Structure 1
Amino acid sequence: MLYWLMKYIILGPLLRLIFRPRVEGLHHVPETGPVILASNHLSFSDSIFTPLIVPRKVTFVAKAEYFTGKGIKGWLTKAFFAGTGCIPVDRSGGRAAQAALNTQLTVLRAGGVAGIYPEGTRSPDGRLYRGKTGVARLALESGAPVVPVAMLNLDEIQPPGKLIPKIARVRIRFGPPLDFSRYAGLAGDRFVERAVTDEIMYELMELSGREYIDMYAAKLKNQPPTEPVTREPIAA
């Protein structure tokens, strides 16, 4: 009930009015059946706009701490994440990644839509980084098609660390579904999973127009800071 209230009555209409999303290729998202939305990750707002734009319920996973806060702030945080379709997952410890994948597999096996960021973390500079193979494991174990989703300018609207987004037109592009049924039964094969992941990342590179860097974004974040990458803003 909270999800539908936020999406169709409160948050959805308000954000559409303010940010006037320009969406390309939304017809590529199947109307029924399991599907994985694999997106580049530029901003905290990525997990807000995708669920509000896609006509089906999109499930992302979020840190369990977002759902356990106290007082008014805790309640508002919980309401926000629950209202945008997020499911709490304990991401502490070595089994955190598997817990997130198991949660998304449950969504897919029920015929739902699972949202995932193959890079595993937000891009530190807007470029596209090497994908982790969890997205491939999801695709191979569920048999669901993968629809690549390119966030085109949310790093300009709400860069990492900025609390209040800039008012501008949000641009998102969906690509044709990717079918990996030719690899049926090969879940767990690390070479196959890497090939599937790289194919998804290639499509995201083509859709987004972002430079691709063949290293993990998390590794770059742990390195000493360098000169920031500058980009020309995308026209509205």
Structure 2
Amino acid sequence: MIGDMALRLAMVNGKARDTAALGRFWAQALDWTVFSDRPGATAVGPAGFTWPDPDALCLDFIAVPDPSTVHGRLHLDLATGSAAHQAELVARLRDLGATPADVGQGDVAWTVLADPEGNVFCVLEPRDVYRDTGPIAALVVDCADPPAMARFWGGALDWTVHESTGDFARLRSPGGTGPFLEFLRTSGTRAWWNRLHADLLPYPREAQKAEVGRLHSLGATDADVGQGDVAWRVLADPEGNEFCVLAH
């Protein structure tokens, strides 16, 4: 439930050439439904989802002319309950149009795939920590300083830090529901595509201006991604990852 939180992670926003096709892929991949499909924008969420659901996370795909120019450091990790489930899910995703991806992972227990527009994601082997997250185990962000990012995002969302080391940090909503938000130390320039960012929804929705001010005080900065005159505010976290504070 919302509780006293003033900001909620409401959506993961992705850029795409064909939003309807990518939305259908992810709806089938996660056993979700398409709850909004309009020209240039397709949103998917759990069965019965009605925007804005106070508890559920959804995915929203927005058309852009050239998605390859959009840069992001966030990817999805999908949860599985058993080795058989992992194998079945990977096979089903391949049938839906996912392809194997090599990001230098080597011989690992999880499977790295790319969706039909090239966005890399992982299908994890069974892990007890993700037993109750739903189909999305975690939103994973590459970064230089995981503890600092955990402090910023923990303050931004009022999420609980479950683990924090020099190389890795993990947060989750205080109610212990939904996916984790994780930060992984990386170095160098990444060669694969992910065009995802977080959309945050204020409660009450009229609190957008106050919440933007609070995020500035935590270290966020204004960002210009060519959005023009829009109702939402585009910000960047202390490592430059863009995110939006919605107005509705």
Normalising by structure 1, what TM-score? Answer: 0.28
Normalising by structure 2, what TM-score? Answer: 0.27
More helix by share: 1
Asked which structure has the greater RCO (Cα within 8 Å, sep 6+), the reply is 1
More strand by share: 2
